[in-house]
Structures are given as C-alpha cells and as structure tokens.
Amino acid sequence: MNVSIFGLGYVGTVCAACFTELGHQIIGVDKSVAKVDLIRKGRSPVIEPGISDKVARAVATGQLTATTDATEAIVNSDISMVCVGTPSSGNGNLDLTAIRQVAIEIGRGLRAKNAPHTVTIRSTVLPGTTRGTVGPLIEEASGNKIGRDFDLAFNPEFLREGSAIADFNAPSKTVVGAFNQETADRVMALYKDLPGAKITPPVETAELAKYVDNSWHALKVSFANEIGTIAKTLGIDGRDVMNIFLQDTRLNISPAYLRPGFAFGGSCLPKDVKALKHLAHSRGLSTPVLESILPSNDMIMSRGADWILSHEGRRIAFLGISFKAGTDDVRDSPFVELVKGLRGEQREIRIYDPNVQLSQLIGANRDFLMRNPDLVGLLHDDVAETIEWADIIVLTTADPRFVAALKASRPDQTVLELSDIGLPAEVSARVSGFHW
C-alpha cells in the first residue's frame, strides 16, 4: 500500500522504515525541513538501535521519500498515518496543537483528491479525540464526510524507545479502532505479515487501551520500588521478594518493569498518567491509585538523591542522562531531575552520554537542552576523563558502553547503580565501593 506518515519523530520514523520492509511505499511528512532533508539523504532523524540502516536502505530503494507538502503526500497515498506528538499541557491535559494542525492539513489535502482515502491516528490521544476533534476538523477543512468521502481509524502504537524495531516486528497485539469493520480491516492489512493478536474494537476503546497500557507500566515501576523500599528496611533483598512475586504469571502479570530500581521517566509515561488523571477528574471521579503514582515516583527520586549524598565525595559522574539506554531522549528524564537536586546540594557534576550531544540533536530534544543550558555545560565527551575525575560514579542505565567503561574505575571510587542492571562480576567484584 501507499502510506503517508505525518510526523517523523520516534514513532513516525520507526513505522516508516519498518513498513517499507513489509512491502509498503512510504511518504514521510514533517514541517521540519531538517528532518525531511535527513530522510531524503538516507539518514534517520532519531537515534534508535538499527534504525539508521533501515532508513538508508528504504531511501536507496525508493520505498521511502519525504516531503513538507501535506497535499502532495495525500494525493500520492491511500492511507495517512498521524504520528505527531501530544505533550502535556499545564494542567495535565493533552496539548493537541500538532494533531489539530495535521488534521486541518489532511483535510485541505483531501480537497485535491477524488479517490477514497483512509486516515488513521497513531498519536496517543484520550478517548473521544478521534471522533470529537480529529474527525470534525478534517471534515471542515475538506468539505467531506467520514464514511462517505473518507474513512477514519485509530491505531495505537506500543513501541518502546530503545527496542522500537523489535516491538514493531514482533507485536503482542495490533489494535485498530474504526467506525466500521471495513475500515478496520483496511488498516489492519498493513500488519498482515506480523505476528500477535489482531484486535478491532470501537475507536474509543482503542484510544483508552493505550492509556491503560502506559498507566499500568508506570504503576509497575512505582509498585516494585515501594516493595523494594519496604524490604530494605527489614533487611530483606527486594529483588528476592519480587522474583517470588513474578512466578505467578497467570493473572496478566508481566515480568517487564517489575524489578526494584530507580524512578521512571521519558516522554510517554509521565504525560499519559497526567492525562488519564485529568480525564478522571473531568468526569468527577476519584482515582487514588493513579494519583499516588507520580508522588511515589518523586519519593523514589528523593531517596536516590539522599542515597547518593550519603556517600563521601563531592565530584559525581553520571554515566547516562537520557531516560533509558539506547535513546537520546532527555525529556522528563528522572536523571535530569536528580542532577538538578544534587547541584542544589553543592555537588560538582559531570555527565557522559554519547547519545546526548547538542550538535546532533534536532526537534524536541534539542529544544529541551537549549532551555537548559546549565545541563549542556555538564556534558563531557570523554568517558575516561569523566570517570577519572569523579569520587562517585552513578550508573543510570544498562548501556554496554557504560558498563565497559567502568572497568577503568579505581578501588577508591564509589560506583552506585541506580537500577538492577546486573554488572558483570569482573566489574562489580573489583570496585570496592560498588553498591546497588
């Protein structure tokens, strides 16, 4: 099929590259000239393991092109997929600015087309958004009607940064909500060669399913950390407790995220918890469990800061500042907040993260760093010098480069592992100050 993908961020770029390997012809659309130019040159605008080679191959074969012209993309495709960001607004609700703009652009593009077209929303939106916001905007801009002149669907993504390609190619489930089964089947045909359950619920059910997944993932991190905190006060290893807990996998419990560790972060989990809580409040509902997630996460970050401050040494080196390994995403990274707190306690900080370099970032990540110049000044590109300088080394994520670099640490240094990463024995055994 011919597919136009609006938004060339993490989701859009991964989908674009992976769809070409399923035999589809893809047109990437973005208002950022920099992102479009990168795609045209066969380069990925995002950092994701394996994505660069896939983009290069797709562009070389002509299966992937890019443009800033929405109408051109609409005219030359059968299905449009919307993958733009939906960040939090000040009150926790979603900022739908980007998705509104794309809906209007698509509507205008449909005016130039006299053939059937299907629009599917892949951006994370609250229930009712596709039907109540996106659909009417497209109808108004195009003069057309849903179900008569064009079709509309919602197709949530379940991709994790750092493992997005594997998640795309081996999904546990693919969900397409549409206003009729024919439309759902048409969108689902994009994934016909992929494994996993294929589910076609009502649109609002599909929209809510994404929030349930993300809210559950967020809850699992906080839940495991609280169990780990309780166990620690009893002199019990929280990992042992959770390993027993994980033996019961019958009741829809997954091992993913259920390990005591540090706080969660990133551009999805905090945002989606806020949005779901806002939705509940707007309906006059009380959600004490949801409302406890972010305060619990703040408590874990405070404990992490106190734990680091309890060790001797004023010079602290962070190996990693993005919210997880394999990504350059620093938005809502718990480690950024941790660094800010430690600086407030008059600690000297240096950061080594090869994925986070201002000169290579574009889009939201670059904007974030430009708004935080103090953070940029802490970034160093020599891991050996960073480790040599420090009294305390904080390992944030399981990036193999960080683990390998720790072999150069000295016995007089303290190495603090914020998550249950599992350092190789030859590293943890030789570092006398190693702590989990």
Binding residues: 30, 35, 86, 124, 158-161, 210, 257-261, 265, 271, 324, 331
Q: Decide the pairing of beta strands 151-154 and 197-199.
A: unpaired
Give the C-alpha separation, 230 to 208, whole Å.
Answer: 33
Give the C-alpha separation, 62 to 46, whole Å.
Answer: 20
Chain-centroid distance of CA 298 in Å reads 20
> Residues annotated as binding site for NAD(+)?
30, 35, 86, 124, 161, 271, 331
Give the C-alpha separation, 73 to 152, whole Å.
Answer: 17
211 residue type, one letter: Y
State phi, psi for 65 to the nearest 5 degrees.
Answer: -125, 170
SS3 52: helix
* Cα 126-368-120 angle, rounded to 5 deg: 30
> Tokens 């904007």 map to which residue?
367
- Residues in contact with 299: Cβ distance below 8 Å, sequence separation at least 6, in sequence order: none
Question: Residue 365 in contact with residue 379, Cβ under 8 Å?
Answer: no
141 membership: H or E segment, kind and range: helix 135-142
Instruction: Give the residue among 14, 186, 34 at the shortest CA–CA distance from 83.
Output: 14
Give the C-alpha separation, 423 to 114, whole Å.
Answer: 60
> Residues annotated as binding site for substrate?
158-161, 210, 257-261, 265, 324
Name the percent of the chain in helix, strand, coil, to the closest 5. 45, 15, 40
Give the C-alpha separation, 39 to 194, whole Å.
Answer: 25
Question: Residue 435 in contact with residue 415, Cβ under 8 Å?
Answer: yes
Marked catalytic residue, from 15, 18, 83, 268: 268
DSSP state of 150: B
- Name beta bridge partners: 199: 175
Q: Is 18 a catalytic residue?
A: no
Residues forming the active site? 268
